Amino acid sequence: MMIPTEPIGSIPRPEALIAALDSGTLSDSELDALYEDAVRDTIARMEATGSTVISDGEQRKYHNFLTYCVHGSPNTAPDGFQIPFADGHTRRMPRLRRAPFHYERYADSFLALARRYATVAVKQAIISPSALSLMYPPEGLPGYSRDQFIDDLLGEHETEIRRCLAQGAHKVQVDFTEGRLAMKLDPSGELLSSFIDLNNLALDRFSSAEQALIGVHTCPGADHDSTHSADVDYAELLPSLFELKVGNFYIAMAREPDPVRVLKIIAQHIRPGQRVFIGVIDPIDPRIETAELVRDRILQAAEYISPSQLGSTDDCGFSPFCDDRSTSRDTAFAKIAARVAGTALACAILRERM
């Protein structure tokens, strides 16, 4: 396709897997079998949509996309940074209790399993350094300065990306959902600037060729059919977002009330060599988009962004947190099929115009 289309990440887990995780009664080997079944089924169903780039649906990301890499770490406590959602529910990050900071697992292990079953390209989503930086307590830690923590964090993040690239990832997508949230927490923009600077410290460790295989995803959150920062104006985020040293940007757009205004901002700030994957599927809308609606959203975007720098995607993962049952697997795959079909329709029209 002249306009590539890619998923963001999570697919709702099978009910049997969620129930097993909730019960806590299964052995590791029994859980591993359920995880593998979920990955195998997810990949088969995603390939059946016609997708030429897929993910494993984050089936093995221990409970959520945010802290999979530190889940079970013995030097953390559960009472860390709190993320409030518009419907009143919250999510909490773990809090680092003592040195050193380190990952319990890297995402290349998920990628390796996915590639055993996939017959098309597989991308891998990972969490950003800026999100994990929120684990460090504001009061500090004795004998472990924030600077030392940041050094360890950046080292782990670099290792994870390199391992994913070595494993053959089509793209490595850095989830940056906290970007828009940062402007809600601190309207001065200082928190967002610090997040951009921190992520660029990590990205500076990669060559331009490697940066071209890395992307950043931004959205207002999507958990239990609610968001954490949809009320933040994209104009406050997007100029800074394009300062990130990556080749790909995955931007939630399907829920935006004034997409033309946002597309104009993107067109103003996108740089040569960068590609923007516009969100054309709303994961928290129970209605399944038609291929024609997807087509129209892409054609609208192509009025402001060159097709050579344009792609399509979903606004967010369909179940970033494992216990989110608000969207069914059938609905998620139907929406993905509409994205793939609608992107093909848009490509055909754009070719005729060339």
Residue at 65 is within a domain? yes
Confidence band, pLDDT 50/70/90 cuts, at residue 325? confident
The Cα-based distances of 88 to 3, 15, 82, 84, 131 in angstroms read 38, 25, 12, 7, 21
User: Which residue has tokens 């504001």?
Assistant: 138
Where helices occur in the chain by DSSP H, the ranges are 15-23, 28-48, 108-117, 129-132, 146-166, 178-185, 190-203, 208-211, 238-241, 259-269, 291-302, 329-353
| Domain extent at residue 314 | 15-353
Residue at 259 is within a domain? yes
pLDDT value at residue 57: 96
Which amino acid is present at 244? L
pLDDT value at residue 313: 98
Q: What is the mean pLDDT of residues 11-21?
A: 90
Q: Evaluate if residue 242 carries a pLDDT over 90.
A: yes
The residue with greater pLDDT, 260 or 327, is 260
Residue at 1 is within a domain? no
Q: Which residues of 155-168 are buried (b: 16+ CB within 10 A; e: fewer)?
A: ebbbebbbbbbebe
pLDDT value at residue 103: 98
Which CATH number do you get for residue 135?
3.20.20.210
Per the structure, how many domains does the chain have?
1
Residue at 8 is within a domain? no
Residue at 238 is within a domain? yes
Q: What is the mean pLDDT of residues 84-91?
A: 91
Adjacent-strand bridge partners of 123: none
What is the percentage of the chain residues whose pLDDT exceeds 90? Answer: 87
Residue at 295 is within a domain? yes
Q: Evaluate if residue 26 carries a pLDDT over 90.
A: no
Q: Evaluate if residue 1 carries a pLDDT over 70.
A: no
Residue at 312 is within a domain? yes
Q: What is the mean pLDDT of residues 267-286?
A: 96
Strands 82-84 and 90-92: antiparallel
Residue at 166 is within a domain? yes
Nearest to 130 by CA among 72, 180, 88, 167: 180
Question: pTM for the full model?
Answer: 0.96
pLDDT value at residue 274: 97
pLDDT value at residue 62: 75
Contact call for residues 134 and 194 (beta carbons, < 8 A): no
Up-side HSE of residue 135: CA atoms within 13 Å toward CB?
32
Contact call for residues 149 and 198 (beta carbons, < 8 A): no
End-to-end CA distance of the chain: 14
The per-residue pLDDT of the chain, averaged, comes to 95
Cis upstream peptide for 100 (omega within 30°): yes
**Sign of the CA dihedral 9, 332, 279, 323?**
negative
